[in-house]
A and B are shown apart, each in its own frame.
Chain A
Amino acid sequence: MADGDRIVIVGAGVGGLRAAERLRELNFDGEIVLIGDEARRPYHRPMLSKALVMGAVRPNDTSLSSYIPDMDVHWRLGTRVSHVDTVERVVHLPGGETLWYDGLIAATGVYPRHMPGAPRHDPRVRIMRTVEDSMAVRRCLHASKKPAVVIGAGLIGNEFAASMRHIGRDVTLVGHAKAPLHRFGDRVSSGIVHEHHEHRAKLSMQSEVRHWISTKDTVGLHLTNNQLLVASVVVLAIGSVPSVEWLRGTPLDVTDGVLCDSKLFAEGASDMVVVGDIARWPNLRFDETPRRIEHWINAVESARHAAENLLVGHSSAKPFTPLPRAWSTLYDTRLQMAGMPGIAEDTVTLADGITGFIRDGQLVGVSSWDKPRAMLDWMAELNRRLPAPDYVPEPEPVVAEAPAPEPVGVSSEVPVEFDSGFDQQAFDREFESQFANDIPTTAFRAQSPPTTAIPAGSLPAASLPTMAIPMGR
């Protein structure tokens, strides 16, 4: 980009904000136009299913700050981009308005997935996408004392259920998986089941909605396990789909988000970078398979990286190789995740409350159940074992260190802590497509785990996951 250029950012969430902020931080002095379909300036979306729906904060308390003296951004809020011409470099807006750009940043995020058959025209059947959605749920809760229902056993579903119990409302969580949060491993999954039980939130797992019954004052659900629920509000939280309709008709690959190269540049267009949930890019720290990551911190980090890459141009740009991180609070328990548990084939207990995720004998992810201090050490350990590759398009294999003086992690020492309850089939279903291009990453010599994180004697260093763990599956 040069002086006087115009960069258009589509999407005014955290990704759009952080991208604009980074452009100014790097002294871009051209024009920045930030287009968002909501009427609000960027806000902290993770609060919607927690503090905001509980009434602990007001809508204006959710707004995000910027940390530079002058953003100098032209806001186009309440405006939905209708389509883009990536050849002529023009963004089309309602009413026939057109806006040329020299650089384009796509940061439109995801939209809650629709559940076939759910009567979204019923005012008590809601999603959790915007501040207004969250406030609408609160209005439903005020209008009726009937229990709340949330469908979907992922993070938002569990957070919402916990929020309802926190404000003293009865709630049932309906999910088709066998257990909530099963992708985070059995420790987390059993932990949240226990917490829901302790707080008297009802779980209806391995069930789906068979019939919906909308009446004047409530909405009823007949589940496949023959349960009948009568609800003041039903929140649909069964995952999300990338908001990329505005990019259809371009040469871009928008089958699952926007396909990008490792530098977050969109494939099939020039001077266009992609940020946050919709970016499907290969994180060379793990392998060369393009994937999307729907984590809030990833939106911040990818926004900053993409903005920088756009400014310096493709040839000087660097691959985006983060160590993904995510968190949630469920009741009073802090749940954390780092790396890519989704690509793992197995899990192993690393320490009290800490689960490791293993692929090809290598640690690729860690989750923790209310162990933030230990998690810091394990994230650092994960970073050492899976270092970001050098800034070259094809990572050179790291020269392996001299073989360890003695065999580490031999099979006889390990299996006691393997998590046999791991739901391999669910993983296969969810991540089948992502194994296609697996390249074995270089094995790293086993290192001592962070000593602080391990209760004395509970886990000999040699039993940490290394390449020597036999992978039978």
Chain B
Amino acid sequence: MPIRLPGGGNRISVDNDRCELYGICAMEAPDVFDLGQDGRLRFRKRLLDDSTIEQAKMAARVCPMQAVVLRGEEFDG
């Protein structure tokens, strides 16, 4: 069942207890994730267009630690 958030929209978060910073997400979804030279992961929290939504889904699917969490009408967790 889709989770409806106040204000709507599709959101992304990363479970820091799981994430080990492999950066596979940055390879799959370069418009959403970035693994910096400092080894830190930065990402957009809101997904606005279809392209970034598809990228984010693929990043979530291939994340080795299954640490990418997607919430919103486009997804079913």
Contacts and interface: CB of A to CB of B under 8 A. Distances in A.
Partners in one complex: yes
B57 A67 contact: yes
Main secondary structure of the interface of B (DSSP, over half): loop
Interface string A31-73: 0000000000000101000000000000000001111111100
Given A334-B22, A379-B27, A372 B35 contact: yes
B37 interface: yes
Contacts, number: 59
A372 B76 contact: no
A373 B35 contact: yes
Given A69-B74, A300-B61, A373 B66 contact: no
Interface residues of B, number: 24
B29 interface: no
Nearest to A332: B20
A402 to B, nearest CB: 31
A67 B76 contact: yes
B77 A327 contact: no
A48 to B, nearest CB: 13
A327 B24 contact: yes
B45 to A, nearest CB: 17
A69 B75 contact: yes
B68 to A, nearest CB: 9
Contacts of A18: 61
A329 interface: yes
A448 interface: no
Nearest to B2: A69
B35 A376 contact: yes
A18 B60 CA distance: 12
A83 B73 CA distance: 40
B32 interface: no
A334 B20 contact: yes
Interface string A320-362: 0000010101000010100000000000000000000000000
Contacts of A46: 64
A71 B76 CA distance: 9
Given A65-B77, A376-B27, A327 B37 contact: no
Contacts of A364: none
Contacts of B64: 46, 296-297, 327
Contacts of A373: 23, 35-37, 39
A1 B8 CA distance: 36
Given A66-B76, A327-B24, 19 more contacts: A18-B61, A65-B76, A67-B57, A67-B60, A67-B76, A68-B75, A69-B2, A69-B74, A71-B76, A297-B62, A297-B64, A325-B24, A327-B64, A372-B23, A372-B35, A372-B39, A373-B37, A376-B35, A380-B27
10 contacts: A18-B61, A65-B77, A66-B76, A69-B2, A69-B76, A325-B24, A327-B22, A327-B24, A336-B22, A376-B26
Interface of A: 18, 44, 46, 64-71, 296-297, 300-301, 325, 327, 329, 334, 336, 372-373, 375-376, 379-380, 452
The 6 closest A-B pairs by CB, nearest first: A67-B57, A372-B23, A327-B64, A69-B76, A372-B22, A44-B66
